[in-house]
Chain A
Amino acid sequence: NAGVTQTPKFRVLKTGQSMTLLCAQDMNHEYMYWYRQDPGMGLRLIHYSVGEGTTAKGEVPDGYNVSRLKKQNFLLGLESAAPSQTSVYFCASNPPGTGDPNQPQHFGDGTRLSIL
């Protein structure tokens, strides 16, 4: 049982380059999330999705785009990477939150991204 899988695990980019981070889950979860984690700060929500074909902005969406074409996959794109986007990115998923709020989020192992 793989759970939540993120690729790649590490990446170094130059300022201005673009890239896509992939998240895949095999638990048939409806909800998926992208977070970033920076030293001294809590996890911050970038974008999330409540189902296939839907996406919504989180707390810090600027500079990122997402797509959820298939239920099991949630992609995070950086259009033009900036040094401020150097961070650890976590994907998470859980069953529907509304009406069933006590379902915990399951996290992938993270992608460590450095922008030079």
Chain B
Amino acid sequence: GQNIDQPTEMTATEGAIVQINCTYQTSGFNGLFWYQQHAGEAPTFLSYNVLDGLEEKGRFSSFLSRSKGYSYLLLKELQMKDSASYLCAGMDSNYQLIWGAGTKLIIKP
């Protein structure tokens, strides 16, 4: 079956670094997406990985290991506005997204 696993909730301190992990099992693989979703709002795209390695975008980076079925999202210099849920989604062989339940990130001052 297809499955995406990520922690339900994480807490971090303003200014610190946090890593949100995601493991995936999909029928075929066409990439791994990360989205950010603030409470009561729509998901917004953060990053896409299809090759092994690290993709960096400002304070956010995303890593993929295809052999391990593993990805992580790294957030640096945390700000209060980073408090949100982070959704991991794997794209299967039919180009459909399989979504994780999301990781709620709580930032404390």
Contacts and interface: CB of A to CB of B under 8 A. Distances in A.
Interface of A: 4, 40-45, 48, 58, 90, 97-98, 101-102, 104-110
A10 B31 CA distance: 33
Main secondary structure of the interface of A (DSSP, over half): loop
Nearest to B102: A42
B63 interface: no
B78 interface: no
A41 B30 CA distance: 22
A109 B102 contact: no
Given A40-B101, A41-B101, A101-B91, A109 B31 contact: no
Interface in B64-109: 87, 89, 91, 95-102
Contact of A90 (B31, B43, B48, B95): B43
